[in-house]
Structure 1
Amino acid sequence: MTSTELKHQARLQEWAGAIRDCRSSGLSVRQWCRERGTTPTTYYRWERELLSVASTAKALSETPAVAFAELPVPKQVCCNTTERSATLRIGNASLDIYPSCDTEQMKKLVELLRLC
Structure 2
Amino acid sequence: MARDLAQEQCWRDRIEECCQSGLSVQAWCVQNGLKKTAYHYWARKFKLQELQKAEDNSFAEVVLLPKLENSTKEITSLKAEFSLSFGDYCIGIPDGFNPVTLAELVKVLRKL
Normalized against structure 1, the TM-score is what?
A: 0.49
Percent identity among equivalent residues?
26
1:38 aligns to 2:49 (yes or no) = no
Residue type of the alignment partner of 2:36: P
Cα deviation, residue 69, structure 1: 4.4
Runs of 4+ aligned structure 1 residues displaced above 4 Å come to: none
1:11 deviation in Å?
2.5
The DSSP-based 3-state class of the residue aligned with 2:2 is helix
Mark the runs of 5 or more structure 2 residues left unpaired by the alignment. Answer: 67-112
Select the structure of larger CA radius of gyration: 1
| Counterpart in the other structure of 1:12 | 8
Q: Give the Cα–Cα distance (whole angstroms) in 1 for the partners of residues 6 and 49 of structure 2.
A: 13
Indicate the structure with greater helix content. Answer: 1
Q: CA RMSD in A?
A: 2.5
What is the aligned residue count? 67
CA distance in 2, matches of 1:23, 1:60: 27
After TM superposition, give the deviation of residue 37 of structure 1 in Å. Answer: 0.9
Which residue of 2 is the match for residue 67 of structure 1?
62
The whole-number CA distance in structure 2 between the counterparts of 1:13 and 1:54 is 14
* Aligned partner letter, 2:45: E
Structure 1 spans left out of the alignment, 5+ residues = 72-116
**TM-score, normalised on structure 2?**
0.51
